[in-house]
Structure 1
Amino acid sequence: MGLVHLLRAVTVNFDLLGAEFAARNGLHPTDVRALIHLLDAARDGTPATPGWLGRQLRLNSAGTTALVDRLERLGLVRRERDGADRRRVLLEVEQKATELGWAFFGPVIDKVVATAEGFEADELETVRRFVTSVLHATQQMRSL
């Protein structure tokens, strides 16, 4: 149970950091979660459509449209037509969003990376396997 409590504490701290980032930048916490999903999709090569984003955030179509409109108005996201299927709209994160994120979260990321450098490769692999397993378990709970 100690590991569960530590994971919860880390989650709460990241959530508080996300809320502070949102407040400083005039965003809703859902806006921050949307940006995270979009950045992860870009890193993974996943096409991010409004429908896909709505499913990730569990928003209906109207809520997703309002969210994307808000992020677009703020200059954080843009809609692009898919080159392969012009009927499909893809969502792209603007450089401004990335810069805001790095300005706020960069020091935290630097500290986490520096902490990881104090561990051996096999220790980090064990941590990676554990955290990945926890992630999969929590993702399964979301779909219930």
Structure 2
Amino acid sequence: MSEQGPELEIVHLLRKVTAEFALRQAEFAARNGMHPTDVRALVCLLDAEREGSGVTAGRLGAELGLNSAGTTSLIDRLERLGHLTRTRDERDRRRVLLRVTPQAVELGWAAFGPAIGSAVALLREFDAAEVAAVRRFLGGFLAAVSEEGGGAGATGGAGATGGAGAGR
């Protein structure tokens, strides 16, 4: 691998990390009666919450690449499992916003918290310039993957953002 250079070694290492994280997400989904797309949906909702934006069914479906029927089925399933709630938008009562429940956040932290904690601890060993370099690389790589896949890489690779509850 070293004859490929350190750049490709890092790209391959990132691929291994994302594949391993995707496997852990699939195992988490199966253990908790969910489909892997359900976990991606929860991650999308948590990301939006962190950004301070509300998510409608239409936006969630678009981010996941689902049609209306598939989105409704996913939302109904997550609501039945107690992982999601629908609430009226306070600013526009016609809009219904989706939110992850505290129960789902706790479930996600129980599964993914140790890995997230290890990553945070590791990053705390880096100086500000190293953290900036990691952020720049991951942001640039995400943009490249998202552009190449027509946006599918951004949501399909949600393992980079964590599992259900990872966005706390």
Q: Give TM class, smaller chain.
A: over 0.9
The answer for the alignment partner of 1:37 in structure 2 is 44
Match of 1:46 among 48, 53, 57: 53
Query: Which secondary structure state, in structure 1, belongs to the residue aligned with residue 146 of structure 2?
Result: helix
Normalised by the size of structure 1, how large is the TM-score? 0.96
1:86 and 1:117 mapped to 2: Cα distance? 43
Runs of 4 or more consecutive aligned structure 1 residues displaced over 2 Å after TM superposition? none
Equivalent in 117, 127, 131 of residue 134 of structure 2: 127
Please give the alpha-carbon distance, in whole angstroms, between the structure 1 residues aligned to 2:131 and 2:91: 40
Q: What secondary structure does 1:91 align onto?
A: strand
Shift of 1:104: 0.6
Unaligned runs of at least 5 residues, structure 1:
none
SS in 1 for 2:87: strand
Which is bigger in relative contact order (C-alpha 8 A, separation at least 6)? 2
TM-score for both structures, normalised by structure 2: 0.83
Q: CA RMSD in A?
A: 1.1
What residue number does 2:105 align with?
98
Q: Sequence identity, in percent?
A: 58
Find the residue that maps to 2:137 and give its secondary structure: helix
Q: CA deviation at 1:84?
A: 1.6
C-alpha displacement at 1:125, in angstroms? 0.7
- Any gaps of 5 or more consecutive residues in structure 2? 1-7, 152-168
Give the whole-Å Cα distance in 2 for the aligned partners of 1:87 and 1:142: 33
Is 1:4 aligned to 2:11, yes or no?
Answer: yes
